[in-house]
C-alpha cells in the first residue's frame, strides 16, 4: 500500500513529491501521459520570490533553477491595437537577476523530475476513480486497469480533476474567454525583424473584446496567443476550420482586421498545429470542509484564468507547503485554509483582469487599470 499517492505530474504534484523526498518521505505520482514528452507542456513561466522560487528553495533546487532561469524574460511591452505603445518594461542589466525571472515550463518540469528517485512517477497510469475506505484511506482505479491503495490522496490533476468530487461538488465554468495558441519555431533565424519586435520577453496588444500576445521561450520559439471573448461553444459556432491549421490562420486573421499590420504578421509567421483552450475557472474563494485522507492543490483546487499569471506559482507553493505540513505532522486542514485564502485573492484578481482586458473598452480600460 502507498502511504501518499499524488494524482498528476504537473509542477504542483512534482514539487510536492520533491519536498516530501527532501524530508525523507516517499510518494507515488500517477500520471496520465505516457512519458514526460508525450505532449506540449506550455510556454514560459515567471516565478515569484514568495511562491515559485520559495517552493524551489524548499525543494533544494535554487541553484539548479537559477541555471535555467532567464531574467531578461521579464521584459514586457503593451500596445493598443493600432500599435501605440502603452507600457514598456525593460530589465536593466543591473536589476536583481532573480526578481521574477522566466523559466520554460518543460525545462522546469524536467528539473523537478530529475530530482526524484527513479520510479516515483508512474507514467500512463491516471487515477480514474478513487473509492473511500475506512480510516480515510482510498482505493484507486488506474487507467491501465490496475488498482492501488493509499493513506493520503492528493489531487494535483488539474482542471478536470477526478479527485475534486471527493471534497466538493463544484466544477469549472467557462470564463467567457477562448484562446488559440500558435507557434513560431525559430524566430531569430527565420524572422529577424519580428524577433526584434517581439523582444526578449512578452508582448501584448489589446483591442475590443480580444487580445494578441507573444511569449518568447529559451529555445528561440515564440508562442502567439489569440484570446477572444465569446461563448463556451465559440470554437464550434465561429465557423473557423480548426482542423485545417492553414485555413484557420487565415480566418483568425480576420478577427484582427483593422489592427496594426505588425501584429497580424506574427500570425503569418506561425507554423504547425494550433492549440485551443476554452478558458475556465472555479468559483472565486472556493473552500471545503476537510475530508480525511484527501486534499487538492493547484488547478484542481483553484483553477483560474491566466490573467493574473500566477497559476504555476500557486501550484508550486501549494505543493511545497503541503509537503511541509505532512513532514511536520500538522493538520491538512490548516494547509487547506491557507491555500484557499491565498488562491481566493489571486482568483479575484484574475477574474477582474479578464473583464478589463477582454472588454468593449479595450485598451482604454487597460490603461486605467495600469494607472491605478
Name the pTM for this structure: 0.95
Q: What percent of the chain has pLDDT over 90?
A: 90
The whole-number pLDDT of residue 12 equals 98
Distance in angstroms (rounded) separating the CA atoms of residues 52 and 44: 13
pLDDT 10s digits, 324-357:
999 999 999 999 999 999 999 999 999 999 999 9
pLDDT 10s digits, 91-129:
887 766 677 889 999 999 999 999 999 999 999 999 999
SS3 of 341-358: the string is HHHHHHHHHHHHHHHHHC
The whole-number pLDDT of residue 220 equals 92
Q: Looking at the predicted structure, is the pLDDT value of residue 1 above 50?
A: no
Q: 167: which DSSP letter? A: T
pLDDT 10s digits, 277-326:
999 999 999 999 999 999 999 999 999 999 988 999 999 999 999 999 99
Contact 254, 169 (CB under 8 A): no
Percentage helix, strand, coil for the chain under 3-state DSSP, each rounded to 5 = 35, 25, 35
The whole-number pLDDT of residue 91 equals 86
Distance in angstroms (rounded) separating the CA atoms of residues 21 and 28: 11
pLDDT 10s digits, 10-60:
999 999 999 999 999 999 999 999 998 887 667 889 999 999 999 999 999
pLDDT 10s digits, 204-230:
999 999 999 999 999 999 999 999 999
Instruction: Taking residues 349-366, report their average pLDDT.
Output: 94
**Which cell numbers hold the place of 344?**
481566493
The whole-number pLDDT of residue 42 equals 73
pLDDT 10s digits, 232-256:
999 999 999 999 999 999 999 999 9
Instruction: Taking residues 131-155, report their average pLDDT.
Output: 96
The whole-number pLDDT of residue 38 equals 82
**Where do the domains of the chain lie, and which CATH numbers do they carry?**
2-71+101-172+282-355 (3.50.50.60), 173-281 (3.30.9.30)
The whole-number pLDDT of residue 92 equals 82
Q: Minimal CA–CA distance to 185: which of 226, 139, 151, 220?
A: 220
Distance in angstroms (rounded) separating the CA atoms of residues 7 and 298: 12
The whole-number pLDDT of residue 2 equals 62
The whole-number pLDDT of residue 264 equals 96
Amino acid at each position: 500500500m502507498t502511504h501518499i499517492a499524488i494524482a498528476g505530474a504537473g509542477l504542483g504534484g512534482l514539487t510536492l513529491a520533491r519536498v516530501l523526498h527532501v524530508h525523507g518521505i516517499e510518494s507515488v505520482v500517477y500520471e496520465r501521459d505516457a512519458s514526460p514528452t508525450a505532449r506540449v507542456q506550455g510556454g514560459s513561466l515567471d516565478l515569484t520570490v514568495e511562491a515559485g522560487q520559495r517552493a524551489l528553495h524548499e525543494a533544494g533546487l535554487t541553484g539548479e533553477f537559477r541555471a535555467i532561469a532567464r531574467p531578461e524574460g521579464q521584459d514586457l511591452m503593451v500596445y493598443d491595437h493600432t500599435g501605440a505603445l502603452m507600457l514598456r518594461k525593460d530589465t536593466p542589466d543591473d536589476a536583481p537577476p532573480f526578481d521574477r525571472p522566466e523559466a520554460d515550463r518543460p525545462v522546469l518540469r524536467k528539473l523537478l523530475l530529475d530530482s526524484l528517485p527513479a520510479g516515483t512517477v508512474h507514467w500512463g497510469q491516471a487515477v480514474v476513480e478513487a473509492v473511500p475506505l475506512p480510516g480515510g484511506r482510498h482505493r484507486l482505479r488506474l487507467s491501465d486497469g490496475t488498482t492501488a491503495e493509499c493513506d493520503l490522496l492528493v489531487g494535483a490533476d488539474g482542471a478536470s480533476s477526478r479527485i475534486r468530487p471527493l471534497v466538493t461538488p463544484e466544477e469549472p465554468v467557462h470564463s467567457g474567454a477562448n484562446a488559440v495558441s500558435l507557434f513560431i519555431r525559430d524566430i531569430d533565424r527565420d524572422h529577424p525583424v519580428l524577433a526584434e519586435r517581439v523582444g526578449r520577453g512578452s508582448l501584448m496588444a489589446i483591442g475590443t473584446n480580444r487580445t494578441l500576445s507573444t511569449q518568447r521561450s529559451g529555445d528561440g520559439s515564440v508562442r502567439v496567443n489569440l484570446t477572444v471573448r465569446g461563448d463556451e461553444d465559440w470554437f464550434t459556432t465561429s465557423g473557423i476550420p480548426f482542423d485545417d491549421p492553414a485555413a484557420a490562420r487565415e480566418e483568425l486573421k480576420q478577427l484582427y482586421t483593422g489592427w496594426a499590420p505588425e501584429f497580424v504578421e506574427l500570425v503569418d509567421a506561425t507554423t504547425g498545429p494550433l492549440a485551443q483552450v476554452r478558458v475556465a475557472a472555479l468559483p472565486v474563494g472556493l473552500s471545503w470542509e476537510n475530508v480525511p485522507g484527501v486534499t487538492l492543490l493547484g488547478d484542481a483546487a483553484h483553477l483560474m484564468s491566466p490573467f493574473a499569471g500566477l497559476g504555476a506559482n500557486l501550484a508550486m507553493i501549494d505543493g511545497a507547503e503541503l509537503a511541509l505540513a505532512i513532514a511536520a505532522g500538522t493538520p491538512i486542514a490548516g494547509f487547506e485554509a491557507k491555500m484557499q485564502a491565498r488562491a481566493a485573492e489571486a482568483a479575484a484578481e484574475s477574474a477582474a483582469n479578464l473583464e478589463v482586458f477582454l472588454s468593449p473598452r479595450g485598451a482604454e480600460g487597460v490603461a486605467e487599470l495600469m494607472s491605478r
